[in-house]
Amino acid sequence: MDNRSELPLAILGTLPNPVLVKDKDLRYVWVNHAFEELFNVDTNSLVGRTDKDVFTHRQAAQCNGGDLRVLASGEIDEATETVVNSSGEQRETLTRKRRLEADGSIYLVGIMHDITEITRVNELLHEKSAALELLANTDSLTGCLTRRALLEQWQQQIVPETGAAVLMIDVDKFKAVNDTYGHETGDHVLTTLAERTRTALPNNSLLARYGGEEFVAVIPDCTTERAFAAAERLRLAVGTTPIATPTGPLVATISVGISHCVSPDTADLNKAISRADTNLYLAKKRGRNQSLAA
């Protein structure tokens, strides 16, 4: 490249993006001023040396990642790299490399784009997206699933051959609790119920707050008989242990309606919830504080 016009190199030298040129043995032939500034190197001292002569082993491995492939195939390569600049700061770069044939020689030409800020913005957006998804899928008071999340997980986790039991759970006379003790106490009753339900039911169960004081639990691979036994354990765990509140211990009871479903289709889950809700209504009509799987 010594015989080539100085004008193209002069133009490349003014670019704000770091530019590099290597020979077929991956030895530096030329770099522009932006490259010198990024890594605090001097072109004259860099010429004839390889990345491993100048940079750390990790950084050299990254820089040389696609170099040989580009020289061998002639394909253009774009890759993200984490480099350490002259201030010791990590920067994310997108480096585009291609093979250049000139004056009977083969060269590797690369241009680097600093995408650190873009990467940071994307990471922030990803974090916010994850937070919004969590918010959409989780009930803020109890930490249970929302209806939407329940339907999604139902389709992902339930096996048609084994099916699942569906429990509709409701706090008995919850309106009276709110009217007598206040909504803060009512909220505490709901969070306590959610905690005790998670403890009483199998670990693979799905638990969603369905609305107000109603919860839906789905127990995968479970018969109606086993679901009834689980519902009774839950009912006793709630009704026999008073809930501590600012105004003193409070005894709350629950009623549970149970149904069974053998398909992961959303429509079938809605039907199963409807049947469990009917059984819940009958349990309340028969005196509350009981489980029913009619």
Give catalytic residues, as residue numbers. Answer: 213
Among candidates 167, 171, 164, 172, which has minimal Cα distance to 142? 171
Rounded distance between C-alpha atoms, residue 98 and residue 74, angstroms: 7
What are the backbone dihedrals phi and psi of residue 47, each rounded to the nearest 5 degrees, phi first?
-60, 130
Q: Where are the beta strands (DSSP E) in 68-200?
A: 77-84, 90-102, 105-114, 164-171
The Cα-based distances of 45 to 8, 195, 208, 218 in angstroms read 21, 67, 66, 69
Edge-to-edge strands of the sheet including 214-220? 206-211, 214-220, 164-171, 254-261, 291-292
The residues, any chain, with a CB within 8 Å of residue 71's CB and separated by 6 or more, are 24, 99, 106, 108
